[in-house]
Structure 1
Amino acid sequence: MITIPRLKNTDSSMFLLMAGPCAIEGRDMAMRIAETITTLTDKLRIPYIFKGSYRKANRTKIDSFTGIGDEKALKILKEIGDTFQVPTVTDIHESHEAALAAEYVDVLQIPAFLCRQTELIAAAARTGKAVNVKKGQFLSGASMKFAVEKVRDTNPASPVLLTDRGNSFGYGDLVVDFRNIPEMAAFDVPVIMDCTHSLQQPNQSSGVTGGKPRLIETIAKGAIAVGADGLFIETHFNPAEAKSDGANMLPLDQLEDLLKKLVRVREAIL
């Protein structure tokens, strides 16, 4: 398992979980979600990283929700990390954001559409924080070796993770190719499966991305079965009211049952 400050329960026999809301919509909402998931992962001894975007830059429509303010959202992420003693992860979109976000979170995430942006990856690595690079929907797992090299060549001390989130299938759908998991694992990095974004249906005529959340369990089980080191799951108390990506989120009250099933899958393959 990768070394990240405050990451608990790092038994190599268990998968890592990155989970939380798509975006930080407010303090109370974020704290409630973090408390619920922390309690659950502590009970199941699952290493946990709280996920929340402090700002959403990749939106289809100009009037889509992007955030509550950068510093306000980042301070909430820091409060969550300090309160529950768990690492936190957020995505960055431009090079100048890396140093700012690194003051508040433990892991910097490179969005899939930006995984070829050399300066962005290098800026994240220069902070010394762990860097989670999402595989582009347009790339194979094997091609992500260059993203890994960019992090390691910039700062060998910066841990790197790779996350799959499906591949484009036509104009408005994604498919998951599980071959990508062992291909990326060959680079000696933890490989995470994004079980929610991989079920998106992008480029809808409404300008709002659709999704197939009923298949989250299917994708998660498959990823664990083929050797994924961790799972990425966006979750919310009420996805229908979420301000971002609600169409592919897991309702939070379904997370415990799902994790218990995945623990059994993990135990069965070891």
Structure 2
Amino acid sequence: MKNYLRNIQHTQSGNFFLMAGPCAIEGEEIALRIAERITEITDRLQIPYIFKGSYRKANRSKGSSFTGIGDEKALKILEKVGKTFGVPTVTDIHEQQEAAMAAAYVDVLQIPAFLCRQTDLLVAAAETGKVVNVKKGQFLSAGSMKFAVEKIKDAGNDHVILTDRGNTFGYQDLIVDYRGLPEMQGFGVPVVMDCTHSLQQPNQSSGVTGGKPELIGTIAKAAIAVGADGLFIETHPDPANAKSDGANMLHLNRLEELLEKLIRIRQAIQ
């Protein structure tokens, strides 16, 4: 896995890499269905692929919101996806003690944006030896993410990814500052653009986060044009009925066409 990520910017095709999947693990059948389709697409397009799925959703507006199907059950599904399709997997962790538990099943540990300054969490993730993907906090500058990288490397782990997911813009919107991508690349790590969460509209009065999924392509195309190493896209065959963050997800049927366009942009700037 470490070699895989070390070479993700240097594939034969010269493509960006993709972290994609459902927001949350809802069940085995749908996880395998999504992974199979994305694997088919990325294999054909020669895009290095990492399957994404949260085994548990800890950051929810309402107490009644879906949080998961059970930690061990969801983690075993992630493990099965990885073994079935031969792809790396990534999931987010929320507390220090979760790092070792999740690391037993997945290849990449993701630090949620709201937790990117939590030193104990970053160190625990680093000490597993797994690749650590840190989401940039909506409240932080790109430059301040160098400290997250330093914490992980100081703990003995050089395998770090940084992911931008937009900046807080008022109380109920986010905006992407693309200057941050090359700035974070200056820290010597791969940088990813989260094309779905950056379109969230948080803090809605309903207690359910909104979004602007019609602009996913816009965010993705701009990120590739700027030179992002990878993209993060949450996708689902039925976003309207997804159990988590359906308002931000790309319909699975639209993924292939979007990736084809992005490859052409990547080729044009190389």
Q: 1:198 corresponds to which residue? A: 198
2:8/2:16 contact within 8 Å kept: no
Q: Which residue of 1 aligns with 2:65?
A: 64
Question: Does 2:39 correspond to 1:38?
Answer: yes
1:190 CA displacement:
0.2
Q: Which residue of 1 aligns with 2:166?
A: 166
1:134 counterpart = 2:117: no
Counterpart CA distance in 2 for 1:107 and 1:17 is 13
Distance (whole Å) between structure 1 residues aligned to residue 131 and residue 4 of structure 2: 7
Structure 2 Cα separation of the partners of residues 136 and 27 of structure 1: 31
Find the aligned partners of 1:8 and 1:186 in 2 and give their Cα distance: 17
Instruction: Please list, as runs of the form range in 1=range in 2, the aligned pairs for 1:7-156 lying within 5 A after superposition.
Output: 11=11, 13-156=14-157
Q: Deviations over 1:168-194 (max 9, x none)?
A: 000000000000101100001000000
Q: CA deviation at 1:9?
A: 9.5
Distance 1:79-1:90 versus aligned 2 partners, 3 A rule: same
Could you tell me how far apart the structure 2 residues matched to 1:201 and 1:236 are? 19
Q: Structure 1 counterpart of 2:86, which letter? A: Q
Query: Partners of 2:99 and 2:32 in 1: how far apart?
Result: 24
1:52–1:89: 8 Å Cα contact kept in structure 2? Answer: yes
Classify the secondary structure of the residue corresponding to 1:170: coil
**Matched residue, 2:247:** 247
Which ranges in structure 2 are unaligned for 5 or more consecutive residues? none
Q: Alpha carbon RMSD of aligned pairs, Å?
A: 1.6
Residues 4, 124 of structure 1: CA spacing in aligned structure 2 closer, same or farther, 3 A cutoff? farther
Instruction: Tell me the equivalent position of 1:189.
Output: 189
In structure 2, relative to structure 1, the CA distance for the partners of 1:225 and 1:8 (3 Å cut) is closer
Q: Deviations over 1:76-107 (max 9, x none)?
A: 00000000000000000000000000000000
State the distance in 1 between where 2:95 and 2:71 align: 13
- Distance in 2 between residues matched to 1:2 and 1:176, nearest whole Å: 29
Return the alpha-carbon distance in structure 1 between the equivalents of residues 122 and 210 of structure 2: 29
Secondary structure class of the residue paired with 2:34:
helix
Residue number in structure 1 paired with 2:207 = 207
Which residues of structure 1 form unaligned runs of 5+? none
Q: Distance in 1 between matches of 2:156 and 2:51?
A: 24
Which residue of 2 is the match for residue 178 of structure 1? 178
Task: Tell me the CA shift for residue 3 of structure 1.
Answer: 2.8
Q: Does 1:229 align with 2:220?
A: no
TM-score, normalised relative to structure 1: 0.97
Distance 2:11 2:47 in 1: 8
Match of residue 268 from structure 1: 268
Distance between the aligned counterparts of 1:9 and 1:184, measured in 2? Answer: 15
- Cα shift readout 1:98-151 (whole Å, capped 9, x = no counterpart): 000000000000000000000000000000000000000001111100000001
What displacement does 1:2 show?
6.4
Displacement of 1:4 after TM fit? 3.7
Q: Distance in 1 between matches of 2:49 and 2:65?
A: 29
Q: Which residue of 2 aligns with 1:219?
A: 219
> 1:155, CA displacement in angstroms?
1.4
**Partner letter of residue 217 of structure 1?**
G
What SS does the aligned partner of 1:266 have? helix
Q: 1:24 to 1:163 in 2, by over 3 A?
A: same
SS of equivalent to 1:189 = coil
Give the TM-score of the pair, scaled to structure 2. 0.97
Does the CA-based 8 Å contact 1:20-1:50 persist in structure 2?
A: yes
Determine if contact 2:75/2:105 at 8 Å carries over to the other structure: yes
Superposition deviation, residue 8 in structure 1: 8.1
| 1:255 CA displacement | 0.2
State the secondary structure of the residue aligned to 1:3.
Answer: helix
| Change in CA separation of 1:193 and 1:93 when aligned onto 2, cut-off 3 Å | same
